[in-house]
Structure 1
Amino acid sequence: MIETAVSGNITGEIDIVARDGDVLVVCEVKTRRAGVFEHPMAAVSPEKAQRLRGLAEHWIHAHGGAPPGGVRIDVVGVLLPQRGAPVVEHARGVA
């Protein structure tokens, strides 16, 4: 699910909005080719994390308020090697 949001000075899109029990999860997905760029998880800077928090807040207000379990911001990193299967990492609650 891709959701575009505009809130004050914050613009952008949320890659995934999901639930984990009673927790709303806003997830950023980063994909990189192995050896070409920095690791995908490193692409989420403090500024990007702040933007994700603002987008999550906007999404919550636009969709009826915060769930009872609160909100968590996750990052999924996908590393694409030249050979073999992609490597997927999931970091919970990073922002």
Structure 2
Amino acid sequence: MATEPQRRLNGRTSSRQQLGARSEELAARVLTSRGYRIAARNVRYPVGELDLVAWDGDTLCFVEVRATSSSQWGGGLASITPDKRRRLIRAARWYLARGAEPPREVRFDVVAIQWDVPASPTSELVQGAFTAD
């Protein structure tokens, strides 16, 4: 179900895509260090994409990874627009519709990665960053 990003420009992965891939890898490490179990990465549907899908105990978490190079505009969390939330919720519904058994709980988390200092990025996990209501 999970796929790796394959978008390329002139045979090369763009720097933005490289930053996204590095950020998603770092986010997965942050989550596993906190006890999450990664179920899927880069799940794409016609209605949207899910960066990471992970279990936190009995809760299925749809995790959006946001990478920024500074906090000047409010950081990664502030960059999630209402339209982006709608796309994430739609993609999560597609994911759930294809599962064997519905989870007890579902949650939308965000991992914001800030790359102010490239050798030492900071991360923030926001559990329950928004709801599907």
Relative to the length of structure 2, the TM-score reads 0.61
Please give the alpha-carbon distance, in whole angstroms, between the structure 2 residues aligned to 1:57 and 1:15: 14
Tell me how far apart the structure 1 counterparts of residues 106 and 75 of structure 2 sit (CA, whole Å): 25
1:20 aligned residue: 56
Displacement of 1:65 in angstroms is 4.0
Deviation at 1:84, TM superposition (A): 5.4
Q: Where does structure 1 lack aligned partners over 5 or more consecutive residues? A: none
Q: Does the residue aligned with 2:94 lie in a helix, a strand or coil? A: helix
Q: Which has the higher contact order (CA 8 A, sep 6+)?
A: 1
Aligned residue pairs total: 90
User: Following the alignment from structure 1 to structure 2, what is the Cα–Cα distance between the partners of residues 35 and 74?
Assistant: 19
Percent identity between the aligned chains? 29
State whether structure 2 residue 121 is matched by structure 1 residue 86.
yes
Normalization by structure 1: what TM-score? 0.83
The one-letter amino acid paired with 1:26 is F
The yes-or-no answer on 1:62 pairing with 2:102 is: no
Counterpart-to-counterpart distance in 2, 1:77 and 1:21: 21
Contact 1:34–1:82 at 8 Å: present in 2 too? no
Higher strand share: 1
Give the direction of change, closer, same or farther, for the CA distance of 1:31–1:55 in structure 2 (3 Å limit).
same
Q: Distance in 1 between matches of 2:118 and 2:49?
A: 31
Structure 1 stretches of 4+ with a deviation exceeding 6 A read none
CA–CA distance in 1 between the matches of 2:74 and 2:60? 29
- Aligned-residue Cα RMSD (Å) equals 1.8
